[in-house]
Structure 1
Amino acid sequence: MPFSHRGTLIPRIGDEPVVASSWERFVQNQPLEGEGVRSVVLASWQRSRADAVDPATHCAPGAAAERVRQLQRQNRNLCDAAHPALEGLRDILRECGTLIMLCDPGGTILQLNGETRVRGVGEAINLATGGCWNEEVIGTNAIGTAIATGAAVQIHANEHFCLDVRRWTCAAAPIFAPFSRTLLGVVDVSGVKETFHGHTLGLVVAAARQIESELACRDGALHERLLTRAIDNFIRYASDYVVLVDTRGRVVRTNGNAHAAREMYDVRLPLEVGSEVPGLNLALPEVDRCCQRPEWLRPEWLHPVKDHEGTLGTMLVIALGARQNRTAISLPTATTTPAGNDAFGEIIGASAVLEATKARARRIAPLDLPVLLLGETGAGKELFARALHRAGKRAEGPFIAVNCGAFSRELLASELFGYIDGAFTGARRGGLPGKFEQADGGTLFLDEIGEMPLDMQPHLLRVLQDSVVVRLGDTRERRVSVRVIAATNRDLQREIAAGRFREDLYHRLCVVSLPLPALRDRPGDIEAIIDHLNSKLARKYGCAPKQLEPSVCQALLSYRWPGNIRELHNVFEVMFALSEGDIIDTSLLPTTITQMAGNSPPISTSAPMAASSGRLEEMERQAILDAIANAHGNMSMAARTLGISRSTLYVKLAAIRAIQAPHLGA
């Protein structure tokens, strides 16, 4: 009878004798007969034999203690994110006599939990911290087979390839990186074979998904901090090719001409968000990073990005052209703005609160007075600052931005006021003009002014009062003519009361204030911003605009966007870049948005659609269905026919489906 292997997911205890007999024949290179060995097990046996694994191997090899500590440091983020899931497994399996393990991508056990008695039994085969359970060295086992297949697996008793491991039963599930889907590690539950239970596989799969969700949340928060800190440098190096990567060397954002960088320096960088750049994983020792870096990657291109909590990532700046002053930026004037003569045309939205804000800004712009922009993080303060500059009397002059929270006190002083040759160790030969001198005749934008150190504030006040700058290490006074626009997300009146901000500096900066609305206060603008981003990113990535599934559109409209427009831009660009084809589906939504959207009523830009209650609602419903049918399911064409945006059409269509669940071919 020809051999037929099964593809069942869970092993059966009753198959143990058949599996044992099949294993005997397999290791003796005899043909297998009958049924009994699952396909995942047979494939693993074949890989084990191809790797020349000795079935008589007594135990798994182990790493030295120092090597284990090094691996734990390299995988610290994984270990921290896995802690709640592993604790949950331990509570569930406390009385089951099992071991709970977290392994790195190579199969080395990083963490192990379980009863002392079971640990002692496991140590006999090196089922312990530091043990390596890759298939290549110990044959078929749940950890190694999960790594080899990239899928969850349960291996029981005689299914193991090595004899001394066959008294164990184990279940393991791989853990993948949120964006790149590269393997990060494995979660495993093992015990002596008498502890076998089919539900164990479901437990490890649930634990792996929980760890992935936690990693996604941590990555999202880290990337938000990284982008916030790096945004000034994207402006500073606007003429160069810039790649921002996180601490694990994964691409978060790119800007500039990748083709020119490739032509000039033979740069071979991955363009996809989430891809890893060799040699920039900060979890690795410096010597390992240096060995991994490609020859074209020059050390002088690498700039660490930090905040008060430590290093957030690396900015790779590849110069594409020589400039006399790399920090001075001359932006387009009002006559060259893409929005025509309206300097505020780039600020997307038509809500009443935004229109009122823009109207006040238009009145402020020509006054040439200091302005204080007040608003939450990501609300568009720099966008308004640039518009005020373009609409003001200094539009032909430079616009210079500096983030007062991104530098230490010493660096901020040199950034603002400049320095002379020899002013301090590492000072550039010939000195360097500060931001005030660079902005002479134009506008200086002081972002995060509330973060400025208290002892720096008198120096800034003197410059604002006297319009005179003295570089560090110099005595010569240099007169400057600069319009100052400052911005903060802090309550400066409260900061003054707490003694953290000078009242006289506040009154000098806040001659006129401009409060900016949060995105949640103008929900009607969200779909217009999404449409704008869709078109903008289509041009950037050289493809057609994407279609949003109705549930995606509803989730984006329902979310409160604590990070405002910046958060919306970052989230939408990640979804756009990661989407396959021309559809953005719910699988691309960040966990924070799906969770909040599930607990919040949708925010819609149109009136709620009742269930066929009244002639007007019925006419609208029929018009939508007719437009979709006439467009043969082409949602963009249907939206144009109806005179609405595609995202609005999706929202209306989702409401119709929820009420009547009609069958639509779209």
Structure 2
Amino acid sequence: MPFGHCSALVPRIGDEQLVASAWERFLHERPAEVKGVRGVVLASWERCRSESVDPEKHFAPGAGADRLRQLQRQNRDLREAASPALDGLREVLRECGTLIMLCDSSGTVLHLDGETRTRSVGERINLATGGCWNEEVIGTNAIGTAIAAVAPVQIHANEHFCMDVKRWTCAAAPIFDPFARTLLGVVDISGVKETLHGHTLGLVIAAARQIECELARRDGARHERLLSRAIDHFIRYASDYVVLVDSRGRIVRTNSNAQAARESYEAPLPWEIGSRVPGLDLELPEVDQYCQRPQWLRPEWLHAVKDHDGVLGTMLVIPLSASRHRTSVSVQTDAVTPATAPDNDPFGEIIGESEVLAATKARARRIAPLDLPVLLLGETGAGKELFARALHRAGQRSDGPFIAVNCGAFTRELLASELFGYADGAFTGARRGGLPGKFEQADGGTLFLDEVGELPLDMQPHLLRVLQDGVVVRLGDTRERRISVRIIAATNRDLRKEIAAGCFREDLYHRLCAVSLPLPALRERPGDIEVIIDHLNARLARKYGCTPKQLSPMVRQALLGYGWPGNIRELQNVFEVMFALCDSECIDISLLPPTIAQATNPATAISPTPVPVVSGRLEEVERQAILDAIATAHGNMSMAARTLGISRSTLYVKLAAIRARPDSSGGSAQR
């Protein structure tokens, strides 16, 4: 960013008396221009006058202890990235009698370091941790003016707007988000006016750039992990609008369906890389996230992207075409849905021909028309939501809405708002007019309570009362609203053990479990695995516009022999990744995930499978090695690059060349 000529940025000691006289005239005569005052200072004085800043204000306001801790938590990345630069400034300025500060984008001091005597003097005007140095509250100063001007600035002595600050000199530079280019904060050096030095401005500019470089390095590493975890979603949901958002709510990647999504939903959907999606900044308190989310952003579109270190970001999947009119959308289905299911059989979408599945479907058909609460019992990925939808379609309320809510995805406060809704003004940030909860939305239809075993114990009496009385009272309201809803609940926990442990109410259990429906795990019906694979193969061929893939005997044997602890969801995810990465007509053993290859053939765990020697040209050997490495790494480009012993950028260049190169049959090397 160009900052102009240095003489316009650095004040001169010899102008101090001239500036003092100009300030007096400015306060009393309101001149259009003031001779001898730098442009950046005069512009700041004008802003102070328009904001009615009191020039006799004695000190800056401060954030309370709780608010300061909250701001420090929200700016944790900034503080950690700034630590090396601030340490460097401290070493350089150790004997200079100055204060070194890091502030957030509103001018609140998050961190302060410096000589004890100077800190004591600074505390008199609240130039201390928690002090707010925005221009609007304390007038012209380097921190606030750097924020207002969005540029580095040095303010000396009489250039300050408020009288009690005029004995200070300070220099500050803004810190920008290297990805979104928004203002993150300010680094500042302040001292009594006798410590003025022309190099101070250069030091803060250099420190700000060092902090930005460290932030860029951290962002790059996080975004690489985020993309590697989320890449499957872009393949799986290619026909929907997919937006990948990092932990600070910034868009990292989208697919090409934004315009179609805007036309379908008539909403200001996110578009540009780097822009922020309101309410998806995970550094904010969860209640603030919830309140900031725009009304068009449906909770069922949001899916956390995690790895072993925690949540990396959010995947926003907005369904298009026919899915526009669905009441509830789920990104990861618990079972396989065929492209065309028999219209006369609500359970025809559940794939499988095994005896145990046939018995489960037969019991579900008998249960469906009873209009009683149903408790679905089964492992994660066994198909609980698919069975819930089938029960709804086969029941007496099939013309009503089907509303799904995951009881394990919210804190207690947010879950109460989700289930029961809230009135206008119920809490800070509540939407005007209030918001109906899931019970009201499901009136006349079915409410599916997934992961009901995660329901907080102190919320269970409130749910029980709604189920007993058929009446909902929104948070912050007194009006009772009568509703008629069929409840289908699901859990992978043993609720009887939870009752014995005091974690689940027995009366609520009996209210939810008028009738239960245990769902078999995939390992209990191994004969269905091949049927599901064949169905997935045909469905993905339609999705990607190609012919179905052949499976090598070893791959088919491995898939049939694996235990599938994640059930149908795991099988679906694994098969689609192999299908998408396969660039030939046959899915071979190199595309199997290592966990499955090792589980079905322990010998493969002893040493990696060597890359076969390919006869022919060197470029063909290189091509096969690259594709094998990517397949083995399941699309993780960093891992593939390490396996090949090359940099990630080199791998992308080589992969682009492979995709552009015609194969031996005259087709494209990449499907």
> Could you tell me the TM-score, scaled by structure 1's length?
0.56
Which deviations, in whole Å up to 9, do the C-alpha atoms of 1:385-427 show, x marking residues without a partner? xxxxxxxxxxxxxxxxxxxxxxxxxxx9855999996998646
State the secondary structure of the residue aligned to 1:273: coil
What is the CA distance between 1:260 and its match in structure 2? 2.1
What is the CA distance between 1:465 and its match in structure 2? 8.4
Contact map agreement 1:420 1:430 (CA 8 A) in 2? no
- The residue number in structure 2 matching 1:192 is 192
Gaps of 5+ in 2: 1-5, 324-329, 340-377, 389-449, 454-489, 493-516, 523-528, 539-553, 569-574, 579-585, 627-644, 658-671
**Is 2:504 the partner of 1:504?**
no
- 2-structure distance, mates of 1:279, 1:415: 29
- 2-structure distance, mates of 1:43, 1:253: 39
**Is 2:532 the partner of 1:438?**
yes
State the secondary structure of the residue aligned to 2:154: strand
State the secondary structure of the residue aligned to 1:231: helix
**Is 2:227 the partner of 1:141?**
no
- 2-structure distance, mates of 1:313, 1:256: 20
- Residues 517-532 of structure 1: pairs in structure 2 closer than 5 A: none
- The residue number in structure 2 matching 1:42 is 42
What is the CA distance between 1:510 and its match in structure 2? 10
Contact map agreement 1:266 1:296 (CA 8 A) in 2? no
**Is 2:659 the partner of 1:562?**
no
What is the CA distance between 1:431 and its match in structure 2? 5.8
Cα distance change on mapping 1:427 and 1:162 into 2, 3 Å: same
- The residue number in structure 1 matching 2:202 is 202
Aligned partner of 1:120: which letter? Answer: S
What is the CA distance between 1:65 and its match in structure 2? 0.5
Cα distance change on mapping 1:202 and 1:260 into 2, 3 Å: same
RMSD of aligned C-alpha atoms? Answer: 4.6
- Residues 113-192 of structure 1: pairs in structure 2 closer than 5 A: 113-192=113-192
- 2-structure distance, mates of 1:51, 1:299: 40
- Residues 217-236 of structure 1: pairs in structure 2 closer than 5 A: 217-236=217-236
Contact map agreement 2:44 2:140 (CA 8 A) in 1? yes
State the secondary structure of the residue aligned to 2:186: strand
Aligned partner of 2:558: which letter? Answer: L
Contact map agreement 1:60 1:137 (CA 8 A) in 2? yes
- Residues 331-480 of structure 1: pairs in structure 2 closer than 5 A: 426=490, 438-440=532-534, 464=558
- 1-structure distance, mates of 2:560, 2:130: 66
Which deviations, in whole Å up to 9, do the C-alpha atoms of 1:537-595 show, x marking residues without a partner? xxxxxxxxxxxxxxxxxxxxxx95237646999xx9xxxxxxxxxxxxxxxxxxxxxxx
- Residues 28-107 of structure 1: pairs in structure 2 closer than 5 A: 28-31=28-31, 35-107=35-107
What is the CA distance between 1:29 and its match in structure 2? 2.4
- 1-structure distance, mates of 2:238, 2:113: 51
**Is 2:10 the partner of 1:10?**
yes
Which deviations, in whole Å up to 9, do the C-alpha atoms of 1:307-365 show, x marking residues without a partner? 0011100000111145899576999xxxxxxxxxxxxxxxxxxxxxxxxxxxxxxxxxx
- 1-structure distance, mates of 2:602, 2:384: 21
Aligned partner of 1:439: which letter? Answer: I
The percentage of counterpart residues that share the same residue type is 58
- 1-structure distance, mates of 2:174, 2:613: 45
- 2-structure distance, mates of 1:524, 1:212: 42
- 2-structure distance, mates of 1:279, 1:265: 19
- 1-structure distance, mates of 2:110, 2:246: 23
What is the CA distance between 1:182 and its match in structure 2? 0.5
Contact map agreement 1:246 1:313 (CA 8 A) in 2? yes
- 2-structure distance, mates of 1:221, 1:317: 24
Aligned partner of 1:78: which letter? Answer: L
Gaps of 5+ in 1: 1-5, 332-411, 445-459, 475-480, 530-558, 573-603, 605-666
- 1-structure distance, mates of 2:564, 2:143: 65
Contact map agreement 1:419 1:473 (CA 8 A) in 2? no
Which deviations, in whole Å up to 9, do the C-alpha atoms of 1:149-179 show, x marking residues without a partner? 0000000000000000000000000000112
Aligned partner of 1:129: which letter? Answer: T
Aligned residue pair count? 426
Contact map agreement 2:555 2:588 (CA 8 A) in 1? no
Aligned partner of 1:222: which letter? Answer: R
Cα distance change on mapping 1:115 and 1:509 into 2, 3 Å: closer
Contact map agreement 1:78 1:184 (CA 8 A) in 2? yes
Contact map agreement 1:443 1:485 (CA 8 A) in 2? no
State the secondary structure of the residue aligned to 1:37: coil
- Residues 246-645 of structure 1: pairs in structure 2 closer than 5 A: 246-321=246-321, 426=490, 438-440=532-534, 464=558, 485=588, 504-507=601-604, 514=611, 561-562=647-648, 565=651
Which deviations, in whole Å up to 9, do the C-alpha atoms of 1:115-142 show, x marking residues without a partner? 1111110000000011000000000000
Contact map agreement 2:99 2:119 (CA 8 A) in 1? yes
State the secondary structure of the residue aligned to 2:278: coil
- 1-structure distance, mates of 2:141, 2:608: 71
Contact map agreement 1:171 1:188 (CA 8 A) in 2? yes
Cα distance change on mapping 1:21 and 1:561 into 2, 3 Å: same
- 2-structure distance, mates of 1:94, 1:562: 42
Cα distance change on mapping 1:328 and 1:48 into 2, 3 Å: same
Cα distance change on mapping 1:567 and 1:249 into 2, 3 Å: farther
Contact map agreement 2:279 2:289 (CA 8 A) in 1? yes
- 2-structure distance, mates of 1:70, 1:502: 46
Aligned partner of 1:179: which letter? Answer: F
Cα distance change on mapping 1:98 and 1:473 into 2, 3 Å: closer
> Could you tell me the TM-score, scaled by structure 2's length?
0.56
- The residue number in structure 1 matching 2:425 is none
Cα distance change on mapping 1:440 and 1:516 into 2, 3 Å: farther
Contact map agreement 1:443 1:484 (CA 8 A) in 2? no
Cα distance change on mapping 1:568 and 1:300 into 2, 3 Å: farther
What is the CA distance between 1:202 and its match in structure 2? 0.1
Aligned partner of 2:62: which letter? Answer: G
- The residue number in structure 2 matching 1:347 is none
- 1-structure distance, mates of 2:149, 2:520: 57
State the secondary structure of the residue aligned to 1:16: helix
State the secondary structure of the residue aligned to 1:102: strand
State the secondary structure of the residue aligned to 1:169: strand
What is the CA distance between 1:265 and its match in structure 2? 1.8
Which has the larger displacement, 25-34 or 246-255?
25-34
- 2-structure distance, mates of 1:103, 1:467: 58
